[in-house]
Amino acid sequence: MPCVRIFSGDSRPEAFFALRPRQMPAAILQHHMEAWSADQRIMAWQSLRDCITGMSLGKTADDAAWEVLLDAGLAYAIKYVLSHSFFCGFSEEELVACNSNSPQDVEEYIADVLPYVALVICNLRDYLEFSLTYCSKEENNPRVRRKRLKSAEVVLRELPRMWQNLWQIRTPFLDSQPPGIGVDFPSMKASPRMIHHGLSEVSAIMSAFHDKYPKILTAPTSTKMPHVVFTIWVYCYHKIDRTRVAENAYVALVVYQAAHYDVQYRHDEFVNEFIVGLTNPKQIARAALRDLRARGDSAHLIISTIFALLSLFRPLVQSEVYPMTLPYQRRLLHSCLSACQSVLCMGEDSTFSSCESFMDTAFSMLQMAFKSPGNYPGLFPERRIHAVIALASTFLLEAIDSWATKFVAEVRGVAQIFCDQLRRHAAAHDPASPSDPQIDLLRRASRAHWKHVMDGLRARRVHRGDGDTRWRPLHQTWVLLGRALEVDAYGTAPVEHEEVRATFPLLTRCTWRECLCSVHEPLHKLQACRGCSLAAYCNDHCQRKDWTDGGHSKDCAKRPSKGF
C-alpha cells in the first residue's frame, strides 16, 4: 500500500514519518481537534492533497489507495471539519479577525486562520473533482464508483450550510483582508486569493455534475443555488486576478441553468437578496467594461455569465417583498449593452475580434429573452430598439467580412423580432396625439444606420456575385426592417421634418447624434463643449464631428479656441 509523509505531533523536522492512507482521516481529525499548532494541522491536509494529486496523476495504486481512504472515513472527516464550529473549527469572530484593530489579532489570523481555511477548501475541491470525475466514467470499477459516489454524497449534503455561513460573513471575511497580505506576507499560505479561487472552483464542480447527479448535488431542504450566487459575488466584487473566477462563474451559471431550467426562485429570500440588493446592473456593467477594455481571452465571460443569470430567472415577476419598477432582466440587459457601447464610443482600439464573443452572447440572449414567455410582455420600449439597431449596425458589416456567421444569424433573429415590435408601436400610436421628439430623433438615427448597412450589403453582393447566397436571408430581413422604419429597399427616406433636439438632458448623453452614447446613458464621463458648455461629448472626435457635420457651429455661442 502506498505511503505518504505527514507531520506528527512532534514539532521537530525529523518527526516526519510514513503514514498509510488508512491512518490519514484519523490523523486529520486528531490534528484538527487537538490543534497543537497551525503547522501541524496544515501539514495533515497538505499530505492529503499530495495523496489525491498523486492518485489523479496515476503515481499510486489508484483504486486500492482510494478505497482504503473511503473505508477509513475520509468523507466523514472532511464533513466534520467543514461543519465544526462556524467554519473549519473557527468561530465567526476568529474568521473576521482580519478587521481587528489589534495587530496581534491580525497576525494570528494570517498565521493560523487564513492558511488553514485555504488548504481545507483546496482539499475539498480536489476531493470532489477526483471523486465525481471517476464516478462519471462508465468504464471504471462499478463497486469503487458506487463507494466514491456515496462518500461524495456525505460531503455534498454538508455544503449548503457552508455556503450559507460564508455568505453571512462574505464582506468581513473575504472582501476586507489586511492590506499587507501579498506584500508583507507573500507566502501562498497566507493568500486570500486561494480561498476565492478554491470556492469558485468548488462551485463550478458542483454545477458541472448537476446533470449527472441532481438528487445528490441539490439537497431538498436547502436553497438550490447558494454556490452560484457566491461565485458571482466573488467575481463582481473581488478585483484581483479575476480571470479564473470569471471562468468558474460562467461554468457554474450556464450548467446550473440547464439543470434547473424550469425551477422558480422568486420565493427564495437568499436569491432575492442577491438579485435586488447586491447585484446592481450598473456594477455589472462596470465589471464588463473593465473586462472589455482589458481585451483578454476571457473578456466576454462576465457578459456570458450575467446573461446566463438573466435566462435563469425567467419569468421573474415582481413580488410584494422586492417590488421592481422595471423587470430585473431588462435592466440587466440594458446595462450590459451600455458597457459595449461605451467601449466602442471611447475608441479604445476595440475591434470586432475582441468583442465578437461578447456581442454573439448578447444578441443570442436578447433573442431568447423575447422568445421566453413572461419576460417581455407587451411592447419593448422603442428607444431601446433603436439603441440595439445602432449597436448591431456598428458590428454587422465587419462580422460579414470576418465570416462570423453565428453572430450574423443572431442579429437577423433580433431584427425579425424588432420588425414586429416597430409595427406594433406604429399601430399603438394615436395619430391625433403629438409625436415624441426624442423618438423622432432616434428613428432618424436608426434610418441612417439602416441605410449604411444596406449600402454595405448591396456592395458586397455586387462584389461577390449573386452566387453567394450566404447573406441573402440577412438582406431580406434588413429590407423588412427598413420598411418597418418607413424606408424602402433602395434607401429613400421619407421627408425629414425640421431638426428637433432631444428632450433628455444634454450633459448626460453625447450630443453628437451618430454616437452610440447619444441614445444610451454612458458609463464614462463626458467632456463639455469648450465654447458654450451647453453640449457634452465622449471625446474630441465626437465634438469635432458635431462641429463640422452636426451643426453645432451655428448654435455655439463662442467658437472654441482650437477650431475644428
Q: What is the pLDDT of residue 4?
A: 41
At 12-50, the pLDDT tens digits run 333 333 456 777 788 778 777 765 556 666 666 776 766
pLDDT computed for residue 217 by the predictor: 60
Percent of the chain exceeding pLDDT 90 equals 0
If DSSP states are collapsed to H, E and C, what string results for 207-253? HHCCCCCHHHHCCCCCCCCHHHHHHHHHHHHCCCCCHHHHHHHHHHH
Most confident of 10-19, 333-342, 437-446, 497-506: 437-446
Residue 437 to residue 429: CA distance in whole angstroms? 14
Q: Give the pLDDT of residue 375.
A: 46
Which pLDDT band holds residue 199 (cuts at 50, 70, 90)?
A: confident
Q: Distance between CA atoms of 101 and 99, rounded to whole angstroms?
A: 7
Lowest-confidence segment of 253-262, 299-308, 342-351, 431-440 by average pLDDT: 253-262
Q: Which has the higher per-residue pLDDT, 253 or 71?
A: 71
Q: Report the chain's mean pLDDT, rounded to a whole number.
A: 66
Residues 188, 189, 190: CA angle, nearest 5 degrees: 90
The C-alpha atoms of residue 113 and residue 92 are separated, in whole angstroms, by 11
Q: Report how far residue 240's alpha carbon sits from residue 340's, in angstroms, rounded to the nearest whole number.
A: 22
Which residue is associated with the grid cell 449527472? Answer: 212
Does residue 190 carry a pLDDT above 60?
no
Query: Which of the residue ranges 30-34, 106-110, 464-468 would you say has the lowest mean pLDDT?
Result: 464-468
Residue 470 Cα to chain centre, angstroms: 33
Q: How confident is the model at residue 220 (pLDDT cuts 50, 70, 90)?
A: very low
Cell, residue 212 = 449527472
Q: With bands split at pLDDT 50, 70 and 90, how would you rate the model's confidence at 342?
A: low
pLDDT surpassing 60 at residue 422: yes
Rounded to an integer, the average pLDDT of 226-237 is 63
- Specify the pairing of strand 536-537 against strand 527-528: antiparallel
Q: Are 390 and 516 in contact (CB under 8 A)?
A: yes
Who wins on pLDDT, 358 or 324? 358
Nearest by Cα to 208 from 308, 133, 270: 133
Would you say residue 511 has pLDDT above 80?
yes
Residue 250 is predicted with a pLDDT of 52
Q: Which three cell numbers stand for residue 492?
A: 429613400
Q: How many CB atoms lie within 10 A of CB 380?
A: 21
What does the block give as the cell for 352? 470586432
Buried b vs exposed e over 451-473: b needs ≥16 C-beta within 10 Å?
bbbbebbeebeeeeeeeeeebee
Q: For residue 540, which of 394, 390, 350, 346 has the smallest C-alpha distance?
A: 346
Are 297 and 353 in contact by the 8 Å Cβ rule? The answer is no
What local confidence, expressed as pLDDT, does residue 133 receive?
Answer: 79
List pLDDT tens digits, range 239-298.
Answer: 444 454 555 555 555 544 444 444 444 334 444 454 444 455 566 666 666 666 665 544
Predicted pLDDT of residue 291: 61
Burial of 321 (0-12, 13-18, 19+ CB in 10 A): exposed
Distance between CA atoms of 300 and 360, rounded to whole angstroms? Answer: 10
- Percentage of the chain modeled with pLDDT above 70: 48
Q: Which residue has the cell 473578456?
A: 299
Whether residue 169 has pLDDT greater than 80: yes
Q: Give whole-number Cα distances, 208 to 133, 223, 226, 391, 467, in Å.
A: 10, 18, 15, 34, 45
> What confidence category does residue 200 fall into, taking pLDDT thresholds of 50, 70 and 90?
confident
Torsion angles phi and psi, residue 181, rounded to 5? -65, 130
What Å distances lie between residue 80 and 25, 86, 87, 94, 132, CA to CA?
A: 11, 11, 10, 18, 20
Task: Output DSSP code: residue 45.
Answer: H
And the C-alpha cell for 514? 451618430
Cell, residue 422: 416597430
Residue 475, pLDDT score: 83
| Res 311: pLDDT | 47
User: What are residue 536's phi and psi, to 5 degrees?
Assistant: -135, 150
pLDDT of amino acid 334: 64
Residue 479 is which amino acid? V
Gap between the Cα atoms of 285 and 522, Å rounded: 10
Band of pLDDT at residue 440, cut at 50, 70 and 90: confident
How far is the C-alpha of 518 from the C-alpha of 520, rounded, in Å? 6
**Of 284, 285, 306, whose CA–CA distance to 365 is shortest?**
306
pLDDT at 270: 46
Residue range 109-154, pLDDT digits in tens? 877 888 888 888 888 888 888 888 777 777 677 888 888 888 888 8
The DSSP string of 327-391 is -HHHHHHHHHHHHHHHHHHHT-S--HHHHHHHHHHHHHHHHHHHHSTTTS-SPPPHHHHHHHHHH
pLDDT grade, residue 509 (50/70/90)?
A: confident
Task: Give the Cα separation of 219 and 64 in Å (integer).
Answer: 30
Q: What is the mean pLDDT of residues 352-376?
A: 59
In single-letter form, the type of residue at position 329 comes to Q
DSSP helix, strand, coil percent of the chain (3-state; round to 5): 65, 0, 35
Amino acid code (one letter) for 55: M
pLDDT above 70: residue 474: yes
The confidence score (pLDDT) of residue 264 equals: 42
